[in-house]
Structure 1
């Protein structure tokens, strides 16, 4: 009995599990990836595109399944599972690499001082209880002052002084301060560009106001905001003569009003004028009596001379 035709039809219906091509397929089981580097057959591609694509897909899936069955397996409730190896092909990232978070103020200080980071233990030894207690939280060591049965009251404290309330307020204040710093660090890490932008705008504002014209005649940048709280009003270099006269009169009036407001001090015996020196200078060293005589003689002589000449 000849069964060659039956075997040939069966072989045509069920292809072999071994995929043989001119260029072997590159299989990466770690990513379930198959790469076919063989050139496309133009005749088969143009004759029946759908059948050609199905043939290529079938060969790739067959090669991938053959490689998966060669991998080691492990048992699970759902059955044996293949242990995938590390991927070989390097896939590009869908998103850029995350930028490193900016250091906090404490991290900058620790780096400058060379302080090493140490993780604080959650438990701390209590000498009084002779046991390990929580550093914070319920029945924590930080509430020891609040929970103690006796407190020291300052001598100048008020009548309604409550040491428990004072200790509790201090603890709450430390918590609020730490939370505020934490939020500032999160905001700085979440939007470093906005913080950098504010620093640049602040620096630009300082440089603008450092010029002689307070930035009046400086070249503006595109999108630069107008500075607030800075008056940039300058008088023109050339003004009409009427304006100058008015300004001068206003200045003189102001000076006169200021002089009237000033209180004059009464003259004292010790004046700024040296009378003796003035008399000696006027009399050329002869004294006050001689100066008086010369003045009286000179006055009569001039008067008599004019009068006698007139009479003659």
Structure 2
């Protein structure tokens, strides 16, 4: 008996075991789900809850397995594999639909003038390289004047005129202009939101207050001696947190004091435990009252030493 015979026999068995419901079960083989719209039998539910749930789940699984075996299958080493159809159940979104972005100044102008937006390709054809290159970005075509090996210099140009630097400055100016226009669009949208009393203006105000509070408390004095702005509210609840407890700080200070007290005695013990020459020198210096060994020898020799010298 081959695989097709086994599948046929199993399909016949599935047909023999049918699930009959007052309201037919909704089977979505694409999502492997079964929806039972039949009302709950209150008597069976209250009498044996576990048995009722098991019976309902068994009927749904039986109907789903029967639907799967009715699908076209392909054989593999692990066994027959059913080809699932596209899902028919429309699932809800996990998040709400995004709000449409407000139109920019150019979009409003284009709509008023009837200008159609034409999307430009990201690649352009380079005649010199004979290949497609990026219009912007790394090695983009907008930097060709900055990288070309020969550039025409105007006749009235200065002596120190740099064509590459001029092209780069012009490109940077365009970028700055675009960024400035973008910020103006954002400010215009926030202004419109403020007039209508919508949430973006309140969120922006909270963000500014939070940033201001962070900068005020970033100094060593926690903003106590910083210059305040006009209309700025006093920060509440801003305190510097102690990194160590009082007991730990006390123990640390006592350890430092004990260490300072031990250092002089340790140095003295180290000096007294030195070599013998150092001790003899100290003894001679003490006996001669700082005059040295020669003076001590003369004093110990008496008058003979003096007569010999004469």
Query: TM range, normalised to the smaller chain?
Result: 0.3 to 0.5
Taking structure 2 as the reference length, what is the TM-score of the superposition? 0.47
User: Rg bigger for which structure?
Assistant: 1
Taking structure 1 as the reference length, what is the TM-score of the superposition? 0.47
Q: Which structure is higher in helix share?
A: 2
